[in-house]
Amino acid sequence: MKNLITLIALALMPAAALAEEAAPPPKWSIAIHGGAGTLNRDAMTPEKRAEYEAALQNALDAGAKVLAEGGSAMDAIKAAIIPMEDSPLFNAGKGAVFTWDGTNELDSSIMDGRDRSAGAVAGVKTVKNPILLADTVRTQSEHVMLMGAGAEAFAAEKSFAVTPPEYFATPGRREALERMKAEQLSALDVDLKFGTVGAVALDQSGNLAAGTSTGGMTGKRWGRVGDAPVIGAGTYADNRACAVSATGWGEYFLRVGVAHEICARLRFLMYVAPKEKLNELASEERPMKLIEEELFQGVADGVMADVAELGGDGGVILVTPEGHAIFSFNTSGMYRGRATSDGVNEVAIFGGEDKASATPDH
């Protein structure tokens, strides 16, 4: 009798109310990185570790707040990247590495997964937050990438303040350049990590975005540009597949086209194994979210294996339309963090430290 009453009540309930009751709450997800590389646990003091974790958490919280309040993925990744550009702990903005000539040259890129609009700048020296200039290239020019003096002229035209070169310089980065020259070392010998920063996000409207910012490699010469400002190598976002930001040895990430390669493989995977097929494999022991996470993680790991096979190292972060926030790196560590609408909120440094699943219930 009780079941009959329930059925009658449901039948009488307005269709709109039923739809509202059945609709799952909107989900959001964000992942950030602050560089990957050969990180030594023994050399990481508790004080230094706490400093990095606090900086990562600050950036993660800034991006997550935008998403939780219904903001766009584009605004969230800018909110997350700016604090890392402003922190001397990372190789982006303040604290960027020095070129061979003793200057700081900054690269950045950003991409909107809704329409695949993108903007990038390379080799700028007087812009405090290159990620904002990259986004202005995306929204206020007909171009995708601007470089050097031209990018700075564009910045001035768009009323960006001129930041003096001394703002970016830090003693530790200068010492690394001097040691590199004095001991005839390679950039890899003085840079134990690639401090590039980045963020990827899914907002409550289902849109994806990605952004990356870096100072490049210590002692870089001849206007060297790595993968960070190159759309498809260091940054890519497509609502049909994923959003990716990379960090690592740029020459190899360029050769593999890492960010686009991951998105392309995910699109193909979704074509050959749509949700309907995956649902057939799901069970109580292996729910859909676990199957998806394993498949998406495998794609990212496969592309990073390609990088390693060529001789490169580094890592990637990615977020999918389903809300998965995934890390993949072939180094001993990557400064990273992720947060989702399901309550995941964590930062980590070394491999194996992630404390919670990144996949939401859906």
HEC secondary structure over 27-87: CCEEEEEEEEECCCCCCCCHHHHHHHHHHHHHHHHHHHHHHHCCCCHHHHHHHHHHHHHHC
- Tracing tokens 């998806």 back to the chain, one arrives at 292
What is the C-alpha to C-alpha distance for residues 267 and 280, in angstroms, rounded to an integer?
A: 20
Residue tagged 């007909």 (tokens): 142
d(CA 216, CA 179): 17
Under DSSP, the state recorded for 342 is T
Please pick, among 99, 136, 163, 196, the residue that the annotation labels catalytic: 196
Which segments of the chain does DSSP mark as H helices, in order? 2-12, 15-22, 46-68, 73-86, 130-140, 148-157, 171-182, 187-190, 250-256, 258-272, 275-281, 288-310
Q: Annotated catalytic, 320?
A: no
Got the DSSP string for 274-288? -HHHHHHH--SSS-H
Would you name the residues annotated as active-site residues?
196
